[in-house]
Amino acid sequence: MVAATAEDATVDSSSQDWKAQLNIPAADTHYRTEDVTATKGNEFEDYFLKRELLMGIYEKGFEKPSPIQEESIPIALTGSDILARAKN
């Protein structure tokens, strides 16, 4: 019997099927109000974030950016400072 190592548990971020290898938690089934669901339809990949950052986002259970994230991520990527507040 071979013992599993820490290397076995890590996900290869350079792999093409990196998303399929993630340990994604169950989807949140709480009721969501319109202020949270009224998004532009963007995905986190649309912002060309580093794959390691995307892996962390998905492994924490985030599926799509919220409206405040859709507005603030592009500004943050320009290097500007942000002070933002979500509605709820």
* Tokens representing residue 70 in the block: 């859709």
**pLDDT tens track for 33-76:** 776 777 788 899 999 999 999 999 999 988 889 898 999 999 99
What residue type is 62 in one-letter code? F
Q: Helices marked H in 1-88 — which ranges? A: 6-9, 34-37, 51-59, 67-77
Q: Which of 13-17, 27-31, 71-75 tops mean pLDDT?
A: 71-75
Q: How far is residue 34's CA from residue 39's CA, in Å, rounded to a whole number? A: 9
Q: Check residue 4 and give its pLDDT.
A: 45
